[in-house]
Structure 1
Amino acid sequence: MPNTELCLEALSALSGCNVESTTGASQLTPQDFVNVVALKEFYKQEGFKELEYPSLGTLSLQDDDLYSAPPALTGPTESLKTTVKINPGDFFHPDFNYDFTHIKDGNTTFMRGNEQYFRPCGWDRAALRVIKKYDDGDSWLGTGKDAWPVSYHGQDMDGSLGVILTHGGSPSEEPKFLEAAAASLMTKETRGRGVYSTPDIKMAETKCKMFTSKTDGKKYKVVLQNRINPNKRRKCQRESVWLIYIPDDYNDIKTRTLVQESIRPYGLLVKQV
């Protein structure tokens, strides 16, 4: 497992906050954390400059890149970021850590729910403490048919990756597929407003956050490994792009509730560059 300090730095890079260790109660649960990361990305794409989140207050959407960038001579500094305290003992679950750094799956196929699971080979996973945290039990986290598919959060994924498919057809049926895609572009409900993720770790890696560790001076990539509610997810014209669609008339509370019902985190992935 990545050491605790490196994990805190990775969480800081993802959230744009200063994430620090505490022996008291955590300000955020793993679910809160994925909510913050997803909502900051969504509201930033919508053109907002701030996000209000319970227990944290106002979060800036303008300084997300400062953690990995050289200090600027002017403008906001890291000291102005929101500080988030988490207790590693109740946030991480070391029993389920898994080091995929030197693993190659080759042609082996893994499934989660009814979707193929592309394991994060090349990455080191720190497990998050999410067992027995949800009212509907833990089957979402399993390997059977009731399990939710695995998705990875890529920081810069947005609607430019593709519209939602609401008509028949597949890329192998090109005329029908293109007709469906064109029709989708003309429909308000399929423009792709919402939170994006991907089942493809390779795509997530191209969109992920990078940071330089203060602990060892090395550069790392960081990605969140989640499970996504198959009943809430919408597929886009690219098979490797999934969307939690957020209707235009949803207020902040409805938006946060939808994200919480749709995406559940269970792993923090880091990879040395």
Structure 2
Amino acid sequence: MPDIRLCLEAISALLGCKAESASGTSQFTPQDLVNVVALKEFYKQEGYKELEYPSLGTLSLHDLDEQDLYSSPPAIEGPPESLQVTVKINPEDFFHPQYDYDFTNIKDGDRKFMRGNELYVRPCGWNRVALRVMQKYDGGDRWLGTGADAWPVSYQGKNMDGSLILTHSGNPDDQPKFLDVAATALRKVETRGRGVYSTPDIRIAATYCKRFKSKVDGKTYQVVLQNRINPEKRQNCQRPDVWLVYIPEDSNDVKTRAIVQESIRPYGLLLKQV
């Protein structure tokens, strides 16, 4: 397993607040981690400036890419409110080293793998830190298996929103009115579907993932979440490498969080040195 301090830095980079090691029960679970990552991108897409999350409080949604979460705050301007948030994580009940897998030097070539009747593009070139999620959900661990009743694998990266696709902005169950426009329109608000996006292709996730420079070894890393996605909750987009968990317009914060929680479950923190 990579240095615990490096793993906590990666979590800090994803959350936009400080993650620190602590004894006792973690105030934050792996499910909370994927919830916050997904909800931050969703609410940012909706035009919000902050996210309120139980056990964390208020998190800023403005871009923290250039912020150093471990340095002293600026002398003149106060730090964003989310930089004042600290989440306590007990590594023993958050990580599951028994299931770590280092794909750094693995190349699959033409080999194919399946998870839940979907092609599984393994994260070759990445080092996976396993999250402790076994026996944490109702219905057992079949969702985490390799059989036909397992959930497919998806990857969650920062900035994964509706700019990934061209779609109508309504319910994906409605008859779609696809937009035949140039690729430059991909980032226009009116082309974004309403919901949470992920991808079965690690190469797509890598394009949108978070980078951070480690205080542990001075190296720069990319970080991506490896999840399983509920096949009954995800929608197929026009692009086969993008999946959508649709969030209806009338969803309040509690319902939105519940939709994410019942649709996406994390099981790996992926790190790659760049």
TM-score (norm 1): 0.88
Alignment pair present for 1:230 and 2:227: no
Q: Which moved more, 1:143-152 or 1:190-199?
A: 190-199
Instruction: Give runs of aligned pairs for residues 99-178 of structure 1, distance below 5 A.
Output: 99-162=102-165, 163=167
* 1:228 CA displacement: 0.3
Q: 2:178 aligns with which of 178, 181, 184?
A: 181
What count of residue pairs does the alignment treat as equivalent? 257
Alignment pair present for 1:209 and 2:210: yes
Measure the CA separation in 2 of the matches of 1:268 and 1:13.
Answer: 12
Partner secondary structure for residue 220 of structure 1:
strand
Measure the CA separation in 2 of the matches of 1:110 and 1:102.
Answer: 18
Equivalent position amino acid for 2:52 in 1: E
* 1:182 CA displacement: 4.4
Query: Which residue is 1:29 aligned to?
Result: 29
CA RMSD of aligned residues (A): 2.3
Measure the CA separation in 2 of the matches of 1:93 and 1:237.
Answer: 36
Asked whether the 8 Å contact 2:115–2:153 carries over to 1, the reply is yes
Measure the CA separation in 2 of the matches of 1:220 and 1:20.
Answer: 19
Equivalent position amino acid for 2:233 in 1: K
Equivalent position amino acid for 2:15 in 1: S
* 1:211 CA displacement: 0.2
Partner secondary structure for residue 123 of structure 2:
coil
Measure the CA separation in 2 of the matches of 1:261 and 1:89.
Answer: 25
Change in Cα spacing, 1:69 to 1:29, as seen in structure 2 (3 Å) is closer
Asked whether the 8 Å contact 1:155–1:208 carries over to 2, the reply is yes
Query: Which residue is 2:17 aligned to?
Result: 17
* 1:166 CA displacement: 5.4
Change in Cα spacing, 1:121 to 1:106, as seen in structure 2 (3 Å) is same
Q: Deviations over 1:245-269 (max 9, x none)?
A: 1111100000000000000000000
Measure the CA separation in 2 of the matches of 1:240 and 1:75.
Answer: 41
Equivalent position amino acid for 1:193 in 2: R
Equivalent position amino acid for 1:229 in 2: N
Unaligned runs of 5+ in 1: 169-178, 184-189
Measure the CA separation in 2 of the matches of 1:148 and 1:132.
Answer: 15
Query: Which residue is 1:272 aligned to?
Result: 273
* 1:62 CA displacement: 2.1
Partner secondary structure for residue 271 of structure 1:
strand
Partner secondary structure for residue 140 of structure 2:
coil
What's the % identity of the aligned pairs?
A: 68
Q: Deviations over 1:77-136 (max 9, x none)?
A: 389431000000000000000000000000000000011000000000000000000011
Change in Cα spacing, 1:214 to 1:69, as seen in structure 2 (3 Å) is closer
Measure the CA separation in 2 of the matches of 1:191 and 1:124.
Answer: 32
Measure the CA separation in 2 of the matches of 1:238 and 1:266.
Answer: 25
Asked whether the 8 Å contact 1:63–1:76 carries over to 2, the reply is no
Measure the CA separation in 1 of the matches of 2:70 and 2:242.
Answer: 28
Measure the CA separation in 2 of the matches of 1:63 and 1:221.
Answer: 16
* 1:67 CA displacement: 3.7
Partner secondary structure for residue 178 of structure 2:
helix
Measure the CA separation in 1 of the matches of 2:70 and 2:140.
Answer: 41
Partner secondary structure for residue 26 of structure 2:
coil
Instruction: Give runs of aligned pairs for residues 185-264 of structure 1, distance below 5 A.
Output: 192-264=193-265
Measure the CA separation in 1 of the matches of 2:173 and 2:250.
Answer: 20
Alignment pair present for 1:61 and 2:61: yes
Measure the CA separation in 2 of the matches of 1:94 and 1:31.
Answer: 17
Asked whether the 8 Å contact 2:163–2:192 carries over to 1, the reply is no
